[in-house]
Amino acid sequence: MKVTFPHMGYLYVPLRAFFSQLGIEVVVPPPISQDTINLGTRYSPEFACLPLKINIGNFLQAAELGADTVVMAGGIGPCRFGYYAQVQKEILADLGIHLDMIVLEPPQGHWRQLFRGLKSLAANAGPVTVYRAGALAWAKLKVLDKLAKNQFVIRAREKVRGSTTQTWRIILDLVDQADSVQAVYIAAEQGQKLFDRIVLEPHRDVLKVGLVGEIYTLLEPAVNLEIERLLGEMGVEVVQSVYLSNWVMTNLVLHTFHLRNDGEHYQLAAPYLGSFVGGHGLETISTTIFYARSGLDGVIHLAPLTCMPEIVAKSILPQVSVDEDIPVLTFMLDEHSAEAGIQTRLEAFYELLKTRKQRGHKNNIKQIKNESTILGRKSIIESLSWH
């Protein structure tokens, strides 16, 4: 069995580790490029959202490299993602491409299906092997999320444009190559040391912008046209609202055991939206409010074109923006997104935020407070403990 899976940011690192530990051969699809997008859009329904199209591109490119099995997440709820796997199966079958599809359904009410999916993957592996594979993947995901968070702080203050991005690529490889939990933590510390070596301008006047919206467009740089890097290089510290490790912990683990602890956070959205609308629609509203109240300068909302939950959120955001006095910019992304148009809007948004801040907007006070605490490098970066 040669297993592949769709790309989503650096998710390939923990997934590669997980399957390799189970003794399964892994084919990581080539990084998402224009070729991937062309392939995907060619064989997908036009009005499907961009993630489905790019998944198809990933699968076809992986099949070319010899993959014979796809592991895909399933889903429940109003978002179309829930039947992606089924639709993709049909598309691949129509193309005459023989890829087995193993769909991992979320544990909420689908215990048996999840178990069946896992069992077909790891037929020969004992519980200890499965546990070890899970622990390694989890360690990789956790350290990468933490380093990614630091990356946003550093990039906004880097002296040489591009130095953070270069270092980040090296770090991804370091963590990817680590073959035990212990090695992962060593790689992470090494990575942090590389970050520490980047020359900063600690006094730079940095704006803070939150990224909210749909998970795939938030996490996959090839889809959001590397918005995190573009903003960072403009001198904007990005505050990313979704980290996969948090998401897995809250939605898959805590949720299953009825231990979710984010009820209060959701309550923020209650005056605008009273119920779950699928995907991340509700989170988009509540997180925007949360960011406004924590003194961020602005919020950027990302979603794939035709995404229903985010369309609901988008129509509410103008009111939230007025009530909470925070500028919000929405990008609906698809394969036709023009980089030049996005660049122009980002620059204009940056000017808008900067002028507001200079005019002594209320958030100014909080900003200055933040600036004084980040003068020393230690405090810029969350002190790190990996265990």
Which residues are at the interface with another protein (CB under 8 A)? 30-31, 33-34, 160-162, 165-166, 226, 229, 234, 315, 318, 321-322, 327, 332, 336, 340-341, 343-345, 347-349, 351-352, 355-356, 359
Give how far Cα 301 sits from Cα of 22, 187, 212, 218, 220, Å.
Answer: 38, 33, 5, 9, 14
What is the distance between the alpha carbons of residues 40 and 334, in angstroms, rounded to a whole number?
Answer: 12
CA distance 375 to 378: 9
> Which of 15, 234 has the CB closer to another protein?
234
Task: Compute the least distance from the CB of residue 376 to another protein, in Å.
Answer: 27
From the CB of 106, what's the least distance to another protein, in Å?
32
Phi-psi region of 235 (alpha: psi -120 to 50; beta: other; left: phi over 0): left
- How near is the Cβ of 295 to another protein at its closest, in Å? 18
Tell me the three state secondary structure of residue 353.
Answer: helix
Task: For another protein, give the closer residue by CB, 132 or 354.
Answer: 354
**Cβ closest to another protein, residue 42 vs residue 161:** 161
- Shortest reach from residue 363's CB to another protein, in Å: 14
Dihedral sign, CA of 93, 102, 82, 282?
Answer: negative
Of 139 and 234, which CB lies nearer to another protein in the complex structure? Answer: 234
Q: Mapping DSSP to helix (H, G, I), strand (E, B) and coil, where does residue 374 land?
A: coil
Q: How far is the CB of 4 from another protein (least distance, A)?
A: 17
Query: CB 123 → another protein: shortest distance, Å?
Result: 34
Q: Which is nearer to another protein, 80 or 356 (CB)?
A: 356
Print the SS3 string covering 213-277.
ECHHHHHCCCCCCCHHHHHHHCCEEEEECCCHHHHHHHHHHHCCCCCCCCHHHHHCCCCCCCCCC
Nearer to another protein, 87 or 222 (CB): 222
